[in-house]
């Protein structure tokens, strides 16, 4: 039996920084995987002693592509400490901006980061849809790639209108927002959103959102695929046909446990209905069995991370970020901590949201065959279908209530602690903050890529995408596109590069898409 060892280097977007994934392969199948963050940035340490509101400016700089999500989490934490509930219009503006960032991220990731690998001639030159994949996703030439860049850029103008700029906007504050757009600006936002929706329905879905939402089972999905040529030729239709033939529904399982904090607080007066106080539901799922979310069950394990060891996993309100670099030897191998929920490894992201919200199509997919690369990426590609309609409703409600308040004054941030828990594009994002004498006494952040890309914990259990890599078939060590599909299906931030080394010293590599 020949064993081949590979390394995959993936830069990430927060304290973990650059990520290296090392896998072991036996007989063409991944049998072991290690996910190692190789850079320490220390944003939590930078926050200590700064003004209580400084997180509103500093934390969006953690990541450009999801800067609004960090701003939202930071603002929610300060809302909690100040004991203030923002007015309805503030909720609407915050939600619209966050939805815009999520939608553009989903579309860019699917087309520019994931499906671009379908145009990998070495891997898929013999695939019956290879030429069409080149025409759609070829670098700097694919028609869908070019359209995606144009349409997602145009959509982000909404954030610039209501927030001043994107990325790194800071228009959210404790008590609401600093922006109060007039009717002309709100109408401009509506026009941009309507234009994007028309493109999304025509190009991505190949049908109306209402028609897509009629799909409630796997049988419905494949009946829809055969129903019209527009469905088959849409990006969703093409993805399903290509992915199924490539076997992407057969690997990339992961832990089959899911976590979502829920998202988009509902205004008190709104026509939008949701799951409790939010549009999407908070919860923890084992398979498709959903349990109530309990924030106290979150803890960070550092037994395999380069930090001063504290003996047991700690809740983020008690957590410490004190670096201790031991080098490559021993059990420590990552700057990423290992977040766990109730002691368990979990996956977070759009698939987790679908399962916890009880989406019948995705629940049936999980029950039939379990999670996979195909199911995970499909969830991301179609998530905007569930966001565009409530977003439009909130824009219309802003038009009707444009003279109402956008801000409840907060003169000072009192001593206390608060958490801002939301869903970023990649999954569960949390900011845990303590304030003393109007200064930050404690700041801890857990990003989606920490949940999904964690190292092993004290029980020796792999992180989510470490686990998802197990069993992945690798046809060509010089072009291990399958490993790229697995990691990309979790949407890790920044450039992903795979470097492979076999026992004889042979070396190969794969760039897993343009990255972020």
Q: Which residues contact 75 (CB under 8 A, 6 or more apart)?
A: 56, 94, 172, 173, 174, 420
At 435, which helix (H) or strand (E)?
Answer: strand 427-436
Residue given tokens 């280097």 in the structure block? 9
pLDDT at 493 (0 to 100)? 64
Q: Domains of the chain: which residue ranges?
A: 3-317+330-408+422-511
pLDDT at 13 (0 to 100)? 30
What are the pLDDT digits (tens) for 439-454?
999 999 999 989 999 9
Q: Percentage of the chain with pLDDT > 70?
A: 91
pLDDT at 495 over 70: no
Q: Give the residues across from 20 on adjacent strands.
A: 9, 36
- Measure the CA–CA gap between 284 and 356, rounded to whole angstroms: 7
Q: Give the residues across from 445 on adjacent strands.
A: 431
pLDDT at 6 over 80: no
pLDDT at 9 (0 to 100)? 43
Under DSSP, the state recorded for 305 is B
What are the pLDDT digits (tens) for 124-152?
999 999 999 999 999 889 999 999 999 99
Residue given tokens 């509506």 in the structure block? 190
- Measure the CA–CA gap between 326 and 34, rounded to whole angstroms: 17
Structure tokens at 328: 């490559």
Q: Closest Cα partner for 455 from 336, 307, 283, 278?
A: 336
395 vs 318, more confident: 395
Rg (CA), the chain: 22
2 vs 475, more confident: 475
- Measure the CA–CA gap between 214 and 118, rounded to whole angstroms: 28
501 vs 278, more confident: 278
CATH number of the 3-317+330-408+422-511 domain: 1.10.645.10
Q: Give the residues across from 280 on adjacent strands.
A: 263
- Measure the CA–CA gap between 470 and 223, rounded to whole angstroms: 32
**pLDDT confidence bin for 327, thresholds 50/70/90:** low
pLDDT at 43 (0 to 100)? 84
Residue given tokens 């503030």 in the structure block? 90
55 vs 505, more confident: 55
Half-sphere exposure for 210 (CA within 13 Å, toward CB): 0
Highest mean pLDDT among 6-20, 231-245, 302-316: 231-245
pLDDT at 17 (0 to 100)? 40
Q: Number of helices (H) and strands (E) in the chain: give both, helices first.
A: 20, 16
Burial class from Cβ neighbours inside 10 Å (0-12, 13-18, 19+) for residue 340 reads buried
Lowest average pLDDT, out of 115-129, 135-149, 304-318, 457-471, goes to: 304-318
Q: Closest Cα partner for 451 from 491, 482, 479?
A: 491
pLDDT, mean of residues 280-292:
98
By the 8 A CB rule, do 336 and 305 touch?
Answer: yes
Structure tokens at 245: 């033939």
Average pLDDT, the chain: 90
pLDDT at 435 over 80: yes
- Measure the CA–CA gap between 337 and 324, rounded to whole angstroms: 12
pLDDT at 329 (0 to 100)? 59
Q: Percentage of the chain with pLDDT > 90?
A: 76
pLDDT at 64 (0 to 100)? 80
pLDDT at 500 over 80: no
pLDDT at 15 (0 to 100)? 27
Q: Closest Cα partner for 165 from 157, 176, 174?
A: 157
What are the pLDDT digits (tens) for 196-227?
999 999 999 999 999 999 999 999 999 999 99
pLDDT at 323 over 50: yes
C-alpha distance from residue 21 to each of 36, 110, 214, 242, 421 (Å): 6, 21, 40, 26, 28
pLDDT at 498 over 50: no
pLDDT at 35 (0 to 100)? 83
Q: Check the CA dihedral 280-285-291-294 and report its sign.
A: negative
pLDDT, mean of residues 13-33:
72
pLDDT, mean of residues 47-68:
91
């Amino acid at each position: 039996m020949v064993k081949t060892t590979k390394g995959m280097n993936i830069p990430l977007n927060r304290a973990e920084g650059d990520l290296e994934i090392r896998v072991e392969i036996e007989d063409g199948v991944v049998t072991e995987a290690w996910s190692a963050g190789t850079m320490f940035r220390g944003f939590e340490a930078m926050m200590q002693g700064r003004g209580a509101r400084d997180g509103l400016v500093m934390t969006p700089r953690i990541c450009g592509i999801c800067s609004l999500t960090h701003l939202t989490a930071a603002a929610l934490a300060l809302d909690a400490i100040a004991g203030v509930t923002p007015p309805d219009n503030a909720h609407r503006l915050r939600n619209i901006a966050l939805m815009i960032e999520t939608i553009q991220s989903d579309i860019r990731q699917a087309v520019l980061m994931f499906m671009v690998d379908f145009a990998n001639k070495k891997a898929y030159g013999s695939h019956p849809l290879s030429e069409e994949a080149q025409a759609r996703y070829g670098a700097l030439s694919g028609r869908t790639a070019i359209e995606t860049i144009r349409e997602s850029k145009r959509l982000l103008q909404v954030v610039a209108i209501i927030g001043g700029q994107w990325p790194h906007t800071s228009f959210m504050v404790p008590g609401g927002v600093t922006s109060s757009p007039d009717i002309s600006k709100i109408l401009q936002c509506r026009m941009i959103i309507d234009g994007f929706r028309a493109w999304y329905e025509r190009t991505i879905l190949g049908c109306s959102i209402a028609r897509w939402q009629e799909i409630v089972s796997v049988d419905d999905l494949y009946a829809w695929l055969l129903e019209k040529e527009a469905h088959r030729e849409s990006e969703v239709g093409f993805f399903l046909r290509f992915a199924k033939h490539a076997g992407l529904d057969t690997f990339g399982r992961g832990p089959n446990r899911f976590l979502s904090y829920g998202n988009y607080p509902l205004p008190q007066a709104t026509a939008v209905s949701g799951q409790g106080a939010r549009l999407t539901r908070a919860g923890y799922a084992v398979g498709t069995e959903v349990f109530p979310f309990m924030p106290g069950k979150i803890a960070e394990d550092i037994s395999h991370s380069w930090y001063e060891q504290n003996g047991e996993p700690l809740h983020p309100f008690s957590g410490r970020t004190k670096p201790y670099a031991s080098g490559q030897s021993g059990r420590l191998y990552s700057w990423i901590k290992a977040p766990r929920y109730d002691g368990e490894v979990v996956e977070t992201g759009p698939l987790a949201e679908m399962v916890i919200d009880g989406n019948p199509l995705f629940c049936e997919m999980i029950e039939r065959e379990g999670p996979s690369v195909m199911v995970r990426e499909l969830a991301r590609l179609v998530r905007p279908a569930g966001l565009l309609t409530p977003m439009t409703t909130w824009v219309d409600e802003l038009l009707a209530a444009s003279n109402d308040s956008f801000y409840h004054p907060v003169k000072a941030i009192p001593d206390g602690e608060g958490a801002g828990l939301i869903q970023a594009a990649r999954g569960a994002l949390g900011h845990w903050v303590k304030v003393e004498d109007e200064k930050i006494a404690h700041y801890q952040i857990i990003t989606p890529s920490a949940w999904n890309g964690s190292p092993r914990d004290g029980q020796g259990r792999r992180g989510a995408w470490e686990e998802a890599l197990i069993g992945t078939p690798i046809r060509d060590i010089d072009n291990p596109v399958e490993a790229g599909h697995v990691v990309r299906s979790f949407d890790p931030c920044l450039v992903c590069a795979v470097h492979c080394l076999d026992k004889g010293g042979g070396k190969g590599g794969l760039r897993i898409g343009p990255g972020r």
